[in-house]
Amino acid sequence: MLQNLKFRQLPGLYAIMRQPPDASVPDWAKGDFISITRTVDELSIVCLEENIPRDIAPGPRWVCLKLEGPFPFSQTGVLLSFIEPLSSNGVPIFAISTYDTDYVLIQVEFAGTAINALQQAGHELRPHDDC
């Protein structure tokens, strides 16, 4: 069953960086919203694009959408309800889940289509906050 959710767009543009699995977490990986995930295959870093040193190519720019949580672990289908309209409209995403909520990053060029698709699906865009 799809749910109607409230979400906010975080200020700024984000980058998603991949580093070797044994790399140290760089000093520039900081800010109000960051995600650092290490696996045996990679070190993934999500942070504000403006924090990345100029000598590193940040790749595509992303907007970050924050679902208004918290959501209990027993509540199923939250992320599916949010990303289904995006998938149906050909919008690629990068999703991050935390203890309380979910974040969905969308490349800048798809942002307008994404927001439109989400609102058409009954999700509510709220004014942004500081995180």
Q: How confident is the model at residue 127 (pLDDT cuts 50, 70, 90)?
A: confident
At residue 74, the pLDDT reads 74
| Beta strand residue intervals within the chain, DSSP E | 6-9, 14-19, 35-38, 43-48, 62-67, 93-97, 102-107, 124-126
- In this model, does residue 130 exceed pLDDT 60? no
Is 80 among the domain residues?
yes
At residue 38, the pLDDT reads 97
Residue 46 is part of which domain span?
6-124
16, 58, 59 from 54: Cα distances, Å: 15, 9, 12
Is 1 among the domain residues?
no
Query: Please, which residues have CB within 8 angstroms of residue 25's CB and are 6 or more apart in sequence?
Result: 36, 43, 45
For 2-130, where are the alpha helices, taking DSSP H only? 78-88, 111-120
Is 131 among the domain residues?
no
Is 130 among the domain residues?
no
Better pLDDT: 6 or 129: 6
Mean pLDDT for the chain overall: 91
CATH number, domain of 87, equals: 3.30.2130.10
- Structural domain count of the chain: 1
Q: How confident is the model at residue 78 (pLDDT cuts 50, 70, 90)?
A: confident
**Dihedral of alpha carbons 17, 61, 68, 74, sign:** negative
Is 10 among the domain residues?
yes
- In this model, does residue 69 exceed pLDDT 90? no
Query: Please, which residues have CB within 8 angstroms of residue 32's CB and are 6 or more apart in sequence?
Result: 10, 130, 131
At residue 2, the pLDDT reads 61
76-81 CB contacts, 8 Å cutoff, 24+ apart: 77/1, 77/2, 77/3, 78/3, 78/5, 78/102, 79/104, 80/2, 81/2, 81/3, 81/4, 81/5, 81/123
